[in-house]
Structure 1
Amino acid sequence: MSKQQDALVVLEEVAQSLKDSAEAVSGGSEYEQGRLMGYYEALSTLLSQCEVAGIAPGDLHLGAEFKLESLLKTRNAA
């Protein structure tokens, strides 16, 4: 594997981990909402930097329908 391929695999793993962690947040306490915002901000930064580097969000395999804002909407409704 080339270094670029290795880097993409690492980015995929980090993005998936952040998404999974955000989706696992339960409860509406201030602490849980703070955790969720942290995951959201980290994933937002990662996606922004990928865009700058020309890496499409689909390359991170987060799901064809994944929208970053959905992490907040589903939790705020709970």
Structure 2
Amino acid sequence: MSTQQDALVVLEEVAQSLKASAEAVDGGSDYDRGRLMGYYEALSTLLSQCAVAGIAPDALHLGAEFRPEAVLGARKAA
């Protein structure tokens, strides 16, 4: 595997992990809202940098319609 392919695999794993972690937040406390904001910031930055590098969002397998703002509403009902 080339270095670029390795890097893409790492980016995909990070993006998937951030999304899954955001979806696992199960409370509505200030702390949990802060965590969701952190996941949003991380995913937003990751996708922005991918755009600068010419990496299509589809390469991260987050879903064709995924938007970072979606994690802000990812909190499960308590």
CA RMSD of the aligned region, Å? 1.6
Of residues 60-69 and 24-33 in structure 1, the stretch that sits farther from structure 2 once superposed is 60-69
**SS class of match (1:63):** coil
Deviation at 1:74, TM superposition (A): 4.1
Looking at structure 1, the residues matched to 20 and 31 of structure 2 have their Cα atoms a distance apart, in angstroms, of 18
- Counterpart of 1:8 in structure 2 is 8
Mapped to 1, the partners of 2:61 and 2:46 lie a distance apart of 14
How many residues align? The count is 77
Structure 1 position 65, deviation (Å): 2.7
For the residues of structure 2 that align with 1:33 and 1:53, how far apart are their CA atoms?
Answer: 30
Cα separation, 2, equivalents of 1:74 and 1:4? 31
Q: CA offsets per residue over residues 8-45 of structure 1, 9 Å max, x none?
A: 00000000000000111111100000111111111111
Paired with 1:26 and 1:73, the residues of 2 have a C-alpha distance of: 11
- Which amino acid counterpart does residue 48 of structure 2 have in structure 1? S
TM-score, normalised on structure 2? 0.89
Name the amino acid aligned to 2:56.
Answer: A
* Equivalence map 1:5-44=2 (5 Å): 5-44=5-44
Deviation at 1:57, TM superposition (A): 0.5
Flag as ranges the 4+ runs of structure 1 deviating above 2 A: none
For 1:55, the aligned partner's letter is I
The answer as to 2:43 corresponding to 1:66 is: no
TM-score by length of 1: 0.89
